[in-house]
A and B are shown apart, each in its own frame.
Chain A
């Protein structure tokens, strides 16, 4: 995409530019919405908070939490997608296509229905468990016997998602209160999330991000393929298990914070690869910055498109990301592998 441009910037400089762009997007996320906020007010709310100012209160209590959570969720999804695509050598490996969202959704709905939980702090743990269970199941199924080809993986993901989705719906039909509690959460959203959610999740999120960033070189080796990696002296089984653990930490954190948000983990690694090449020591940090930039961008788009109401960010990423998947299926030789 950009690699052919004659005025090539070095990768460290590009990374800095991307970081700058992320700051701009984050600032926009504080400003844009049904209540207009000036940049000065947005910055003042961060540095010199005046509780008597209405707009500053809006920024502080609503826009800031969703921006901070969006940064974490976007980074987690993008880095998880990159690591998955490297470790599985599968261009369609992505948290939502691997059933993570469906698993977490089902676990949460079950918790709300059976355990009468009403607060996200109670049910985030079920998101982790569900994400773990479903992703292990889908990847295990797709790779049982031969390897997990893209088409097999996508089919396994969509079918397990269909099963869990139908169980989720059954629970929702049994009880309208559950439906009312979770239906906004089920769309995938950054809105209305309190910063209180962060402390229990941040350790997992940070461990996942740090671990993935440190594994760049090993992911390069893994992405060469099973035989090559083994001949270079890597315990591929152990390494894959480690990557899978990190991915579950990341994807589980993302689902716990924002609900099911798809396609960020699919699109970001592909965009980054087209930009900086196939070295995961660069792909991972670029994904870390591009993921949140795209997710916040989608969130802002959702606020602008449906004014004065808003579209949930999970809906926007699917509306934008699904055409990306379709164009990948058409353009690349993904389908023929």
Chain B
């Protein structure tokens, strides 16, 4: 199989590919074609994300001028400012900048794989799997350090179960969605059963976790996220070409020499892992995985590696923005999941209305 990974994912015979400004980049035996306009978009979104992050570091009950923040980052600030920035604010900001991309990229993979623009990992049982495991961990007073690991295991377990239950010789997108919704209901019922048996304080902790919150993110979380993304983002990039081929239909993909089910399994695995690692740190933050891939496609065109990165940057922007909004803009501080849900649902209505004719 002579698949050349291309950064745009565009096929050479596509007329629109000709109109883009493409540049061939040779790295050893692999040639990439870089879409310059897309590269500019990715760079711009990343710069905006970094700027928002820097601004976020100045916000809080103790306001710091940007100059102090920069000094703290460089290590030359007074001890109190250095502690506020490096010890308190930076881990949370970085966590948002990593959780957002993980969720958004996971959503992009699932929407492409299931060929349904209305789907996201949160509705097909993955987050519910993380929730039931995490709530069980919370109410049975086990070491909170391991909570992310348990949530991660729950998410992957649920994803594996949904995959196996959908399997009937092959994976069908519509069937997977319905099986996933069933699994979601089942696991949510399990969570409810656990919460009802807990005392009110444990129940409140469980609810807080289930809403999705970045409060209390620490450097350990940041390290976990960074390591996972360093592994999963390249994997996702490599899978963008097969994903694009899948979108042309099974027939076409097969005639291109793609091993269909193995490709789907690989995509599912990367999508689940991205979602699971995000949920393990922040809890099941809703609607980011669903919303951001649409925004990215709307702003930047068809599936491809560049779009994948752009989606990630937008995800970071959305989640960081929502977290700053929830922390500082309202009279009470709200978990980030409440903000993303409030933003996501109206967007869903709009989208459903618009895509209805095609479904």
Residues of A within 8 A of B (CB): 92, 97, 141-142, 144-146, 149-152, 154-156, 158-160, 162-163, 166-167, 169-170, 172-174, 176, 179-180, 183-184, 186-187, 262-263, 309, 311-312, 314-315, 318-319, 321-323, 325-326, 328-330, 334-336
CA distance A321 to B189 in the complex (A): 10
Contact A183 B118 (CB under 8 A): no
Chain A, Cβ-Cβ closest to B162:
A326
- Does B184 sit within 8 A of A, measured CB to CB? yes
Closest to B186 in A: A322
Given A173-B335, A318-B189, A335-B175, decide whether A326 and B356 contact each other with a Cβ distance below 8 A.
Answer: no
> Known contacts A179-B207, A325-B185; is A163 also within 8 Å of B341 by CB?
yes
Contact B200 A176 (CB under 8 A): yes
| Known contacts A169-B338, A179-B200; is-contact A329 B359 (Cβ 8 Å) | no
Contact A330 B168 (CB under 8 A): yes
Our pick among A186, A263, A328 for the contact of B192 (Cβ within 8 Å) is: A186
Q: A162-B122, A166-B211, A167-B341 are in contact. Are A180 and B186 (CB under 8 A)?
A: no
| Known pairs A169-B211, A323-B186; A330 contacts B345 (CB<8 A) | no
Tell me whether B359 and A159 are in contact (CB under 8 A). no
- Chain B contacts with A in 247-271, Cβ cutoff 8 A: none
Range for the number of chain B residues in contact with chain A: 35 or more
Q: Does B195 contact A (CB under 8 A)?
A: yes
Are B211 and A144 in touch, CB under 8 angstroms?
no
Instruction: Say yes or no: is B334 at the interface (Cβ < 8 Å to chain A).
Output: yes
For B194, the closest partner residue in chain A by CB is A315
Known: A156-B352, A163-B344, A187-B196. A170 touches B185 (CB 8 A): no
B346 to chain A minimum Cβ distance, whole angstroms, is: 9
B39 lies within 8 A of chain A by Cβ:
no
Whether A314 contacts B352 by the Cβ 8 Å rule is: no
In Å, the complex CA distance between A176 and B208 comes to 12
Residue in B119, B185, B210, B349 whose CB lies within 8 Å of A318: B185
CA distance in complex: A31, B359 (Å):
51
Interface string of B121-161 (1 = CB under 8 A from A): 01100000000000000000000000000000000000000
Contacts of B335 in A (CB 8 A): 170, 173
Q: Which B residues are in CB contact (< 8 Å) with A152? A: 118, 352, 356, 359
Check if A166 sits within 8 Å of B177, measured CB to CB. Answer: no
Q: Which of B174, B185, B201, B345 contacts A335 (CB 8 A)?
A: B174
Complex contact A149–B182 (CB within 8 A) = no
Whether A322 contacts B208 in the complex (CB less than 8 A), given A167-B338, A335-B172, comes out as no
Give Cα A241 to B204, complex, Å.
41
> Once the chains are docked, how many angstroms separate the CA of A179 from the CA of B166?
36
**Complex: chain A residue closest to B355, CB-CB:** A145
Cα A191 to Cα B357 in complex, Å, equals 46
B327 within 8 A of A: no
Chain B, interface SS category: helix
Please state if A172 and B207 are interface contacts (CB–CB under 8 Å).
yes
Residue from A149, A162, A169, A334 with most neighbouring chain B CB atoms (10 Å): A162
Chain B's nearest CB lies how many Å from the CB of A109? Answer: 11
How far is B344's CA from A151's CA once the two chains are assembled, in angstroms? 19
- Counted as pairs of residues, one from A and one from B, with CB atoms less than 8 Å apart, the total is 161
Whether B183 contacts A326 by the Cβ 8 Å rule is yes
**Taking the nearest CB of chain A, how far is it from the CB of B20, in angstroms?**
32
Q: Are B186 and A159 in contact (CB under 8 A)?
A: no
A179 proximity list for chain B (CB < 8 A): 200, 203-204, 207
- Provide the bound-state CA to CA distance between A187 and B203, in Å: 13
Q: What residues of A have a CB within 8 angstroms of the CB of B197 in the complex?
A: 309
| Cα(A180)–Cα(B342), bound, Å | 25
**Is the beta-carbon distance between A166 and B337 smaller than 8 angstroms?**
yes
- Pair B175/A330 contact, Cβ less than 8 Å: yes
CB distance from B299 to the nearest CB of A (A): 22
Can you sample 14 A-B contacts with CB below 8 Å?
A142-B352, A151-B116, A152-B118, A158-B123, A163-B341, A163-B344, A169-B207, A169-B337, A173-B208, A183-B195, A262-B185, A311-B193, A322-B186, A334-B178
Q: From A160, which residue of chain B is reached at the shortest CB distance?
A: B345
Contact of A146 with B356 in the complex, beta carbons under 8 Å:
yes
Q: How far is the CA of A60 from the CA of B172 in the complex (A)?
A: 52
**Could you tell me the distance between the alpha carbons of A170 and B342 in the complex, rounded to whole angstroms?**
11
Verify if B62 is at the interface (C-beta below 8 Å from A): no
Residues in chain A near residue B207, CB distance under 8 A: 169, 172-173, 179
What distance in Å separates the Cβ of A13 from its nearest Cβ neighbour in chain B? 35
Contacts of B168 in A (CB 8 A): 330
B290 proximity list for chain A (CB < 8 A): 159
In the assembled complex, how far is the CB of residue B337 from the closest CB belonging to chain A, in whole angstroms?
6
Q: Which chain B residues numbered 268 to 305 have a C-beta less than 8 Å away from chain A? A: 286-287, 290
Asked if A159 and B178 sit within 8 Å, CB to CB, the answer is no
**CA gap between A158 and B177 in the complex, in Å:** 11
State A92–B203 Cα separation when bound (angstroms). 32
A201 to chain B, nearest CB (A): 23
Q: Are A145 and B203 in contact (CB under 8 A)?
A: no
* B181 at interface, CB cutoff 8 A: yes
B304 to chain A, nearest CB (A): 26
User: Which residues on the B side are within 8 Å of A151 (C-beta)?
Assistant: 116, 174, 177-178
Report the minimal beta-carbon distance from A22 to chain B, rounded to whole angstroms. 25
Residues of B contacting A326 in the complex (Cβ-Cβ under 8 angstroms) = 165, 178-179, 182-183, 186
